[in-house]
Amino acid sequence: MTRRIVSPSQNLSLGTLHAGQVKAFLALRGHRFKALRCGRRFGKTDFAKTWIKEGLVQGFECAWFAPQHKTWAEVYSETASALAGLIEHTSKTAGVMRLKTGGRLDFWSLENSIAGRGRRYHRIVIDEAAFGKSGDNKTDGSAMEIWEKSVKPTLYDYGGEALVCSNSAGKNPDNFFYNICTDAQYGFSEFHARTMDNPLLPKRLQDESIDEWLTRKEMFQADLIKSNDPLVYAQEYLAEFVDWSGVAFFSREKLLNQGQPVPYPAFCDGVFAVIDTASKTGTEHDATAVTYFAIGHHTGNAPLTILDWDIAQIEGATLETWLPSVFTRLEELARVSRARNGAVGAFIEDKNSGTVLIQQALRRNMPVHAIDTKLTAMGKDERALSVSGYVYKEQVKYSEHAFNKISIYKRNSRNHLVDQVESFRIGDKDSDREDDLLDTFCYGISIALGNSEGF
């Protein structure tokens, strides 16, 4: 289905819906409050953009809500490009577009607890709704509070419609998206689609016959089941509401080789470090964590080995003197692991004290790299889910040194890396849990094994 607007001067396409999206459109049409729950890569955001653009060319006042500014920034650019011939005024800084048709599109972040107040809309989209703040309508800043107190009232003037889209994010009674999909009192009509309901993926290759493409598609879909933890597959690709309570997310068994850590690699492509210096502990000094990795795609073993780690409470003023010790250790590990490309540098989260650390290191010509903002902007649960497949496929292993190491941190003597990795739970409300080494673990896997965007 292709939605088009035709005028004497132009033929404007609003987008083409694939067969799965057409089913969603037909099922949700006529319902005022719509919930689209779908697996990864189904095309929910493209579906929502088409629906919003249809309203804009009819002169509707519309709004797009997302958990963070970075979540809607790409939608803004794509929509502005698609409607370039109709745009009268646009400002990405203000998050607003005005069209010659009289249509208006505002962009809001759900980090803003009064998002939408004072406005009136014909149509609104809430994208990635499962990843807003959890809590009921009495919880300050929760997605449910923002919906009921700020967003829903904007639809009163015109009897407007809402389209709420997301993948699922666990069976959580405090989660906004879970509630509107499972509790009829909120008045939403739901359409549920799996990743496989997008008939266009994986994309057909050039010169590939239909039979060859269909065979490859079956192999891809079988590999999704084989290469993912069953609960991850159910949540991410089947879009089911999975109960994660009490489930250890990263299995020790998958990070060992027949129950044992592995020796340092005899050779590898390179070694690198990941540093986390964000202030999370609320204690006198910030927690600073570093994990060292070896990457080797042609060794016959798991491509990523965790070589070493460290965690300490370091005053901000002494971080600059601590950083050279990281590069000293990297050089030692590059020699021991016979890294062909040597030490390729340290990756640092570019916020809080990490930003200062990056600037100081660059002034000293140290090989540091800021971690991609697409990774740092993700929530902890989302980041862990993005790397879970690599762990499940046993592409990451603890070295003997990293697994057997014991250190004292906050008067506790233990293997803090293994403890943080194994104690992680999806949807854990215990915000006081130490997670600095867990962050370096997830970032390291994304950087080494992910695609160009770290996934």
Cα–Cα distance measured from residue 328 to residue 263, given in angstroms and rounded to the nearest whole number: 21
Tokens of 87: 């745009």
DSSP three-state, residue 25: helix
* Predicted local confidence at residue 6, as pLDDT: 40
* Predicted local confidence at residue 425, as pLDDT: 86
170 touches 249 (CB < 8 A): no
Nearest to 287 by CA among 403, 369, 409, 379: 409
* Predicted local confidence at residue 317, as pLDDT: 58
Nearest to 390 by CA among 436, 343, 444: 444
Q: Give exposure, 408-441, as e/b (b: 16+ Cβ within 10 Å).
A: ebeeeeebbbbebbebbbbbeeeeeebbbbbbbb
H/E stretch holding 145 reads helix 143-146
DSSP letter for each residue of 292-358: EEEE-TTSSS-SEEEEEEEEEEE-GGGHHHHHHHHHHHHHHHHHHTTBTT-EEEEEE-SSTHHHHHH
257 touches 397 (CB < 8 A): yes
* Predicted local confidence at residue 432, as pLDDT: 63
Taking the chain (455 residues) in runs of 10, the rounded mean pLDDT of each run is 48 84 96 97 96 96 93 92 93 94 97 94 97 92 96 97 96 94 96 97 94 95 91 94 84 94 96 81 64 90 96 73 90 96 91 78 88 84 91 96 93 91 80 83 95 47
* Predicted local confidence at residue 430, as pLDDT: 56
Cα–Cα distance measured from residue 297 to residue 291, given in angstroms and rounded to the nearest whole number: 19
Say if pTM beats, i.e. exceeds, 0.85: no
Cα–Cα distance measured from residue 163 to residue 46, given in angstroms and rounded to the nearest whole number: 12
